[in-house]
Amino acid sequence: MGKDTILNILILGMDGYIGWSLALHLAEKGNRVTGIDNFSRRRTVEEIGSWSATPIHSMEKRMQVAKANYQERIRFHEGDLVDYKFVSDVIKSCKPDAIVHLGEQPSAPYSMIDVAHAVYTQQNNVIGNLNLLFAMRNFSPDAHLVKLGTMGEYGTPPLDIPEGFFEVEYNGRRANMMFPRQPGSFYHASKVHDTFNIMLACRIWGLRSTDIMQGVVYGTRTNEINLSENPDLCTRFDFDEIFGTAINRYTAESVIGHSLTVYGKGGQTRGFLALVDSIQCLTLICENPPAKGEYRVFNQIDEVYNVTELAEIVAKVGRRNGLAVEVAHVPNPRHEAENHHYKVEARHLRNLGFKPTRSLEQEVGLMLEDLTPFKDRIKEKEQVIDPKTTWSNGQSLEEGIQNYSIRQNTRTTS
């Protein structure tokens, strides 16, 4: 299998930030793409009183626009991974070569709001993934599971972080063992539970999987998505304290003149990856599957910075573009190390041919350009920017969701 092979690819979570971008790219390359989603991301963002800075279309409209380019090479089914019958029916009808599993609740702060949000996150993620593993065993045992885990599975240990496994010596014996996982939120913990379930399924059923420890993704553009050329195809872009991630939030903050929100001392260090490169890596992984029964782990990151350095880069690019940008240190709502060792091995993807498309600084310039037309949309929701969800005492968000219940049936276009 290589880069010219046409694949039948099932994307779980196709309506999301990465899922929609990936679907367009894989279809553009000539693959047959089937997507599923239950639109929970649209509902949870609405629940916390926010919306995507980029106005995204309903899935009906998205499919109309995509089909004009890709015809029957792209399809969509609405449904929930927590429903085993739905998952198995889709797998039976799609007969995928690869299944890219992005369909989980992806926010650490959301999982820390209170017991309902923690339980929802782990039920949704762990049970959805378990249903998938059983459906693969029963109906598609040769397919390649490309699973989105997170660098946060490892936490911030005082050792260099290898790609999944490391050699360890204990009481005079040496072995290649799984590197310890130390997740920092109930969301990150859900990914660790998935890791164990996938490893077990590969070992006992002979499934094949690439478990991706991905760093924080940022950006507005891919090869197929350019807001000024084809706004109808844009993917979502969140900037609120719950669903927005560090660089995406800093760029949205810059555009409306809100101080950049560095949490605490700001020495928290992470690996970052542009959206266009997340798509490049996922495509390479689909094109290069592991052997049957193999469970492999790839660390998927590009540049490594601490969150103060990042804010300074965004501020520098913003000022160059005429924006008045200030960096602020706000009290850290999370319970996390603010100064720590962080050195990550990430060779596998580069060995497969991954080459970063642009530097982080160049990407930030494009993001500011893309977000400026949506300044008013960001400004209208400015109240969701400053952090209110804390890790330590499990308090709920101050406003908006005290009477929380997970709404399963409301569909919105936020």
- Which two three-digit tokens encode residue 273? 């990856």
16 binding partner (options ligand USQ, ligand NAD, none; Cβ < 5 to 8 Å by kind): ligand NAD
What are φ and ψ of residue 253, in 5° steps? -60, -45
Question: Closest by alpha carbon to 259, among 334, 358, 329?
Answer: 329
Q: Which helix (H) or strand (E) holds 105?
A: none
Task: Report the residue number whose CB is nearest to ligand USQ.
Answer: 152
131 binding partner (options ligand USQ, ligand NAD, none; Cβ < 5 to 8 Å by kind): none
| Closer residue to ligand USQ, CB minimum distance, 73 or 117 | 117
* Residue in 59, 148, 349, 401 binding ligand NAD, rule: CB under 6 A: 148
185 binds ligand NAD (CB under 6 A): no
Task: Report the residue number whose CB is nearest to ligand NAD.
Answer: 16
Asked if 187 is an active-site residue, the reply is yes
User: Reduced to 3 states, what is the DSSP secondary structure of residue 174?
Assistant: strand
CA–CA distance, 178 with 186 (Å, rounded to integer): 20
- Which two three-digit tokens encode residue 351? 């060995």
Judged by CB under 6 A, the number of residues near ligand NAD is: 28
Indicate which residue of 121, 150, 251, 269 is catalytic. Answer: 150
**Strand order through the sheet with 269-274:** 216-218, 269-274, 303-306
Asked if 150 is an active-site residue, the reply is yes
For residue 204, give every residue at least 6 positions away whose Cβ sits within 8 Å of its Cβ, in sequence order, or none. none
Asked if 191 is an active-site residue, the reply is yes
| Closer residue to ligand NAD, CB minimum distance, 20 or 139 | 20
* Residue in 7, 37, 118, 120 binding ligand NAD, rule: CB under 6 A: 37
Smallest separation, CB 336 to ligand USQ (Å): 5
Report the helix count and the strand count for the chain, using DSSP H and E.
14, 14
Question: Within positions 69 to 88, which residues make up the interface with ligand NAD, using CB under 6 A?
Answer: 80-82
* Residue in 47, 97, 104, 240 binding ligand NAD, rule: CB under 6 A: 104
Indicate which residue of 29, 147, 191, 381 is catalytic. Answer: 191
303 binds ligand NAD (CB under 6 A): no
Smallest separation, CB 296 to ligand USQ (Å): 19
For residue 379, give every residue at least 6 positions away whose Cβ sits within 8 Å of its Cβ, in sequence order, or none. 256
For residue 84, give every residue at least 6 positions away whose Cβ sits within 8 Å of its Cβ, in sequence order, or none. 131, 134, 135
CA–CA distance, 215 with 249 (Å, rounded to integer): 16
Tell me which residues are annotated as active site.
150, 187, 191
Which residues bind to ligand NAD, rule: CB under 6 A?
13, 15-19, 36-41, 80-82, 102-106, 124, 128, 148, 150, 214, 216-217, 245
